[in-house]
Structure 1
Amino acid sequence: MNELPFCPAIAFPAYLNPVIVQLGPIGLHWYGLGYVIGILFAWWYGTQLLKKKTLWHNDCPPMTPEKLGDFVIWAAIGVVVGGRLGQVLFWDPYYYFTQPAEIIAVWDGGMAFHGGLIGTIIAMILFARKNHIGIWTTFDTIAAGVPVGLGIVRICNFINQELWGNVTHVSWAVCFPNDPKYLPRHPSQLYEAFMEGLVLFILLALAIFVFKALRKPGIVSGLFIFGYGVARMISEIFRVPGEDPQWFSTLMHNTGFTYGMALSLPMVLFGIYAMYRAIKYQSS
């Protein structure tokens, strides 16, 4: 095994391995476990909110905790299928269409949040209509706990040594062993874990418990979508851009506006609309 060159920053911890345990051809990966923990936490947190009737409009939760439990399978399918198809269609369609077997290799990473969001929204709409539940209140219930899962998955991105940041000389820069140049880089995955996970979760909790946002269906959903979009656009400043589509690279050449920003900007605008709609609807 070749020794790595000298790192003028923080060396990536050698004990961090993407695979937790390997049993023959089957391995338990941090990435997959992160998604499982995130979905289960959002379900548990949502049930706790549903039990607190005073948080909801007219002290009437939109569904029972048991009914939310029925949505877990729907959510898992929406997240995994939507996230993977988002990665395939938004980011690298040529590679996946020429290597179709790789499309199902979710254990190797490669899940697009924007696709996962679309998949989950579709699942929520179908679930809400099937069970005669308000779509916005369903979205609010789920969105409240999602940031925790986002933060965990970003930490898993760090463990996988993927989506690392631009070269920098800040004191907390990290050298990733899978970086061919082995240069100090922003640990942009951890920035995203902080913004999309901790900060966004706290903002939603304040909106729910201090400002009683669940009484206005759509506020929590809108704040979540808006907050993620802003956090993602900020993190893109520090993150090495992905393989942007050729048409986009040509259009935005030397502007600093990345494909990730382009996918996130509509989220910011839609989040603002959702919050405005909720406030206007409640006051009318």
Structure 2
Amino acid sequence: MIPFPDISPEIFTISLGSFQFSLRWYALAYLAGLVLGAWGVWRLMKSDRLWGGAAPMEPGRVEELLTWIVGGVVIGGRLGFVLFYQPGYYLANPVEIIKVWQGGMAFHGGFAGVVIAAWWWARRNAVPALRLADALAVVAPAGLFFGRIANFINAELWGRPTDLPWGVIFPGEAAQICPGIEGPCARHPSQLYEAGLEGLLLGLILLILVWRGGLRRPGLALGVFLAGYAAARIFVEFFRVADAQFITPDNPLGRVALGISMGQLLSLPMLALGLLFIFRAMSRPPA
């Protein structure tokens, strides 16, 4: 068993009288993912060769696009959490919806928000939406990687009990509620599993795809990202504890439908859509 590293969720705190500001690792992860993603899109748009012709947009427009993406991530991620995971609570306490600083973001909601924001921006600016989606798909794993590392530092979204040598003893409730185990118990570091699969491995696959001319097939990078993320999420959900609101004495694993978790249920449409994009892209000649 590995003791949880003593890392504070807050990087630093500034107090000036009654005013207090704290920079948290979670906020830094979002910032790093967005900045690195914007830089990645800018680099892709500077290389016409990767696209088999002119890049779909001018590199200088990335900053404007980033503003829309930030809005899509925050609004979509928050509303996704509200609708998918705790609709009853937020229906009774609607003011709590705007308190994003208290936590509560859902990837699938954030993804939907980015799709809507990017599509609307592309339509307003006469940018091919599918090719823009390919560029965003290539850089998305960077944000996923930083986000999952922040989840680990926050000791949240932990996994099920395990006796494997890399099991981690998370602090607080996670170490005290293992049925049949006396004393602290170790759990799968499922956040790190997701960081490795959704972030590092999927990101590497997409970079290799770009290097081998994948952007010359519109929709291919998007399809690989959708299918790759969905497959990784479905796999890791077997090692991850379901959200507390889905766990009951009669349903200790928190299954919501068809014997699967909410994360798996939301990932199945992504998997199907990703495979469809891959099939369509590969059935057409490259640019």
Work out whether the TM-score is over 0.5: yes
Say which is worse superposed, 155-164 or 235-244, in terms of deviation.
Answer: 235-244
Change in Cα spacing, 1:29 to 1:262, as seen in structure 2 (3 Å) is same
For 1:37 and 1:283, how far apart are their aligned partners in 2? 33
Match of 1:277 in 2: 280
CA contact (8 A) 1:31 1:109 kept: no
CA contact (8 A) 1:39 1:76 kept: yes
Report Cα offsets for 1:208-260 as digits up to 9, x if no partner. Answer: 102x01011100011111110001001101100123399994644xx3x1111
CA contact (8 A) 2:216 2:286 kept: no
Matches within 5 A, 1:1-284: 9-14=1-6, 16-24=7-15, 25-57=20-52, 59-178=53-172, 179=174, 180-181=176-177, 182-210=184-212, 212-242=213-243, 243-244=245-246, 249=255, 251-252=257-258, 255=259, 257-282=260-285
For 1:245 and 1:56, how far apart are their aligned partners in 2? 47
Say which is worse superposed, 154-163 or 23-32, in terms of deviation.
Answer: 23-32
Could you tell me how far 1:91 is from its partner in structure 2? 0.7
Could you tell me how far 1:197 is from its partner in structure 2? 0.4
Q: Percent identity?
A: 41
CA contact (8 A) 1:221 1:274 kept: yes
SS in 2 for 1:21: strand
Match of 1:5 in 2: none
CA contact (8 A) 1:82 1:120 kept: yes
Give 2:140's aligned amino acid.
V
SS in 2 for 1:27: strand
For 2:148 and 2:135, how far apart are their aligned partners in 1? 22
Give 1:195's aligned amino acid.
L
Change in Cα spacing, 1:251 to 1:74, as seen in structure 2 (3 Å) is closer
Say which is worse superposed, 156-165 or 90-99, in terms of deviation.
Answer: 90-99
Give 1:37's aligned amino acid.
A
SS in 2 for 1:77: helix
Change in Cα spacing, 1:71 to 1:123, as seen in structure 2 (3 Å) is same
Give 1:228's aligned amino acid.
Y
Give 1:264's aligned amino acid.
S
SS in 1 for 2:283: helix
Could you tell me how far 1:139 is from its partner in structure 2? 0.5
For 2:8 and 2:56, how far apart are their aligned partners in 1? 42
CA contact (8 A) 1:151 1:198 kept: yes
For 1:195 and 1:175, how far apart are their aligned partners in 2? 22
For 1:258 and 1:160, how far apart are their aligned partners in 2? 22
Give 1:12's aligned amino acid.
F
Give 1:231's aligned amino acid.
A
For 2:109 and 2:232, how far apart are their aligned partners in 1? 17
Change in Cα spacing, 1:250 to 1:99, as seen in structure 2 (3 Å) is same
Give 2:121's aligned amino acid.
F
Could you tell me how far 1:94 is from its partner in structure 2? 1.3
CA contact (8 A) 2:167 2:187 kept: yes
SS in 2 for 1:86: helix
SS in 2 for 1:61: coil
Give 2:142's aligned amino acid.
V
Say what the alpha-carbon RMSD is for the aligned residues. 1.9
Change in Cα spacing, 1:93 to 1:101, as seen in structure 2 (3 Å) is same
CA contact (8 A) 1:91 1:245 kept: no
